[in-house]
């Protein structure tokens, strides 16, 4: 496996899919209250947020506490963000993930 190439691929595709979902909703990165990414790797999360121009203080992070929980990482991060009082009713959330086979996707939702 070529780690650097996989890292770059993940960052590019995660940012692209998030931008595409936002665009379809008529929104931009500046409209995002919270980015809730797949919690696979802190470096990927940081680089994707930077590429999306979303500051890290608007990213829900749990990877440091739970590790990569695979498909459960986004709902787990949502739960933690709500418990912390970060996510509030009406907030605009972008989720994005990349997984096995390097498939990726995103969603925009209003909490």
Domain map (residue ranges) of the chain: 3-110
Do residues 46 and 39 lie in contact, with contact meaning Cβ atoms separated by under 8 Å?
A: no
Q: How confident is the model at residue 88 (pLDDT cuts 50, 70, 90)?
A: very high
pTM over 0.85: yes
Kindly tell me if the per-residue pLDDT of 58 is higher than 80.
Answer: yes
CATH number of the domain at 3-110, please?
3.40.47.10
Kindly tell me if the per-residue pLDDT of 102 is higher than 80.
Answer: no
* Residue found under tokens 């936002």: 22
Residue 1's pLDDT is what? 64
Kindly tell me if the per-residue pLDDT of 16 is higher than 90.
Answer: yes
Do residues 14 and 48 lie in contact, with contact meaning Cβ atoms separated by under 8 Å?
A: yes
Residue 60's pLDDT is what? 97
Residue 64's pLDDT is what? 86
SS3 37: strand
Residue 72's pLDDT is what? 87
Q: How confident is the model at residue 70 (pLDDT cuts 50, 70, 90)?
A: confident
Give the mean pLDDT of 55-83. Answer: 91
């Amino acid at each position: 496996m070529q780690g650097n190439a996989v890292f770059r691929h993940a960052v590019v595709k995660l940012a692209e899919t998030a931008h595409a979902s936002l665009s379809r909703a008529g929104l931009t990165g500046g409209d995002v209250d919270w980015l809730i990414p797949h919690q696979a790797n802190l470096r990927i999360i940081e680089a994707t947020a930077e590429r999306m121009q979303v500051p890290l203080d608007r990213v829900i992070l749990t990877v440091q506490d739970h590790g990569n929980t695979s498909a459960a990482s986004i709902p787990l991060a949502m739960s933690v963000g709500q418990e912390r009082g970060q996510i509030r009713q009406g907030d605009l959330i972008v989720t994005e993930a990349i997984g096995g086979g390097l498939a990726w996707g995103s969603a925009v939702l209003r909490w």
